[in-house]
Chains A and B, each alone.
Chain A
Amino acid sequence: QKEVEQDPGPLSVPEGAIVSLNCTYSNSAFQYFMWYRQYSRKGPELLMYTYSSGNKEDGRFTAQVDKSSKYISLFIRDSQPSDSATYLCAMRMDNTGNQFYFGTGTSLTVIP
């Protein structure tokens, strides 16, 4: 079993839709949770991060962490064609060290 599981999609939605992207994980020691966005033929870039459980909102993006269920989500409101990308979840246990655990990524296309 992988440490982090993510549905690869692909996911296709009309412009303006609400998008929900999810990851599950098996290691209860994870404390820091991140979402990276990767455009085609580019490197991943940090989109959102959350520490421990709870919600964090940044514009149209909301990240949720439910540690009791070992489940994290990224919601995109009023999705735009520019949101078309692959979204990778990532997590780590503490704020030092080098171990980042990545999901395989979900490919999202927002249709105008």
Chain B
Amino acid sequence: NAGVTQTPKFRVLKTGQSMTLLCAQDMNHEYMYWYRQDPGMGLRLIHYSVGEGTTAKGEVPDGYNVSRLKKQNFLLGLESAAPSQTSVYFCASSYRLYNPNTGELFFGEGSRLTVL
């Protein structure tokens, strides 16, 4: 099992450019999440999805859009990148019900985005 896979792992954008981060999970998880991680700020939830075709806003959704057309994929889009969106982005997935035998959130390895 690959777990949670994020692509690309690194990207440099210019202000105003657009891009999409792709997250794929092979664990048949219902829930998927996009977080950003910044120094001193910890993990902040951008958007999440509780199932195929559904998305919802998290703590810091402005400037981002998401889509979940297939259960295994969760896309994060930046329509017009800004320097404030320079960050490390983590995708995560989980089962709908907490199961201590299988763990909680499963994270990808992160996507490092720099906006110049």
Q: Do A and B come from one complex?
A: yes
Chain A neighbourhood of B100, CB < 8 A: 49, 51
In the complex, the answer to whether A43 meets B48 with C-beta atoms within 8 Å is: no
For A90, what are the chain B residues with a Cβ–Cβ distance below 8 Å? 104-105
User: Residues of A contacting B104 with CB < 8 Å?
Assistant: 34, 46, 49, 90, 100
Residues of A with C-beta under 8 A to B92: 43
Closest Cβ neighbor of A100 among chain B residues: B105
Chain A interface, number of residues (Cβ within 8 angstroms)? 25
Complex Cα distance A45/B107, Å?
A: 7
CB-CB under 8 A for A98 and B40, given A32-B98, A43-B90, A46-B104: no
Interfacial chain B residues near A51, Cβ < 8 Å: 100
Question: CA separation between A108 and B105, bound complex, in Å?
Answer: 22
For A98, give its contact among B4, B48, B90 (CB under 8 Å): B48
- Interfacial chain B residues near A98, Cβ < 8 Å: 31, 33, 48, 50, 56
Docked Cα-Cα span, A88 to B44, in Å, equals 13
In the bound complex, what is the Cα–Cα distance between A111 and B6 (angstroms)?
Answer: 32
Q: Which B residues form the contact surface with A (CB < 8 A)?
A: 4, 31, 33, 40-43, 45, 48, 50, 56, 90, 92, 96-98, 100, 103-105, 107-110
- 7 shortest A-B CB distances, which residue pairs? A43-B107, A95-B98, A104-B42, A102-B43, A46-B103, A43-B109, A102-B42
